[in-house]
Amino acid sequence: MKIGIPVEENNMDTRLDDRFGRAGYFAIVSLENGKIKDIEYVENIFKDESSGAGQKTAMFLSDKDVKKVIVPELGPKAKLALKELEIEAFKKGDMDNLEEALENLLENNLKIYPLVESGLRRA
């Protein structure tokens, strides 16, 4: 399974990015049997888009076989894109750096980020 984590730089010492669609990079973590198999750093080629960065980033991650993401905040279009692509989202919360995110990931200490707004929905 692959997990996408928005990060500021492409190295293990990086801080988590406070943006999703406009994050500088993503650490794509491959898990196998509950352990980290590999970490690939990819530049977010959609970070400078004039609009739709969140949606395009979600599709980019899906194309890389990412099934889960750790996210700060999401706009409505990014939420919808992740939901439609069946990518599960988890809250960044107060995690500050990649190492801390990986620890929480391996210890199953992540909280689900709801992708569906509560309340009335349009048909």
**Pairing outcome for strands 25-32 and 2-7:** antiparallel
Region 103-107: what's the mean pLDDT? 93
Q: Check whether 32 has a pLDDT greater than 70.
A: yes
Predicted local distance difference test score (pLDDT) of residue 53: 94
Region 31-60: what's the mean pLDDT? 95
Predicted local distance difference test score (pLDDT) of residue 117: 60
Does the model's pTM come out above 0.85? yes
* Cα 118 from Cα 114, distance rounded (Å): 9
Region 11-24: what's the mean pLDDT? 95
Predicted local distance difference test score (pLDDT) of residue 113: 95
Q: Check whether 93 has a pLDDT greater than 90.
A: yes
Q: Which two tokens stand for residue 100?
A: 């801390």
Predicted local distance difference test score (pLDDT) of residue 116: 74
Q: Which CATH class is domain 2-106?
A: alpha beta
Q: Check whether 123 has a pLDDT greater than 80.
A: no
Region 29-53: what's the mean pLDDT? 94
- Identify the DSSP state of 98: H
Terminal-residue alpha carbon distance, the chain = 34
Region 94-120: what's the mean pLDDT? 87
Predicted local distance difference test score (pLDDT) of residue 64: 97
Domain boundaries, the chain: 2-106
